[in-house]
Structure 1
């Protein structure tokens, strides 16, 4: 899923080993709305979406991350919380 020209698009997902659906969506969202982007990143397994954090911050967006203590899956929340620019 991506955002372009103010529209939500749902193209066919390419077949690959790792699912990066959240990362793909967030990169398209930051390109579309720039500093008006607010992301709430909840627990998840893996690091999908983690690479976009710096890009969102550089564009002036806001990222709010679930506290690692309350995450069902610690891996995602812990990876995100290691970036000191995030709001918990």
Structure 2
């Protein structure tokens, strides 16, 4: 029998590398398409510096960030809600 070209031990490495590349690609596409400071076309670049505060706020406060900030951050919620028992 010949040796295997890809061993099963490296599958987790391929998965984590694939996820990292996917996250980088997603962020790159998000920045190119929705970032108010990035202008790809010549017509948009000719506009100069714009004062788009609303557009910048929409970009920075996206859905994932709004969801994350709305969640409780208590790590020990059961201990925080119950007062300690008297001795």
- TM above 0.5: no
Larger relative contact order (CA 8 Å, sep ≥ 6)? 1
Q: TM-score, normalised by structure 1?
A: 0.24
Q: Which has the larger radius of gyration?
A: 2
Q: TM-score, normalised by structure 2?
A: 0.24
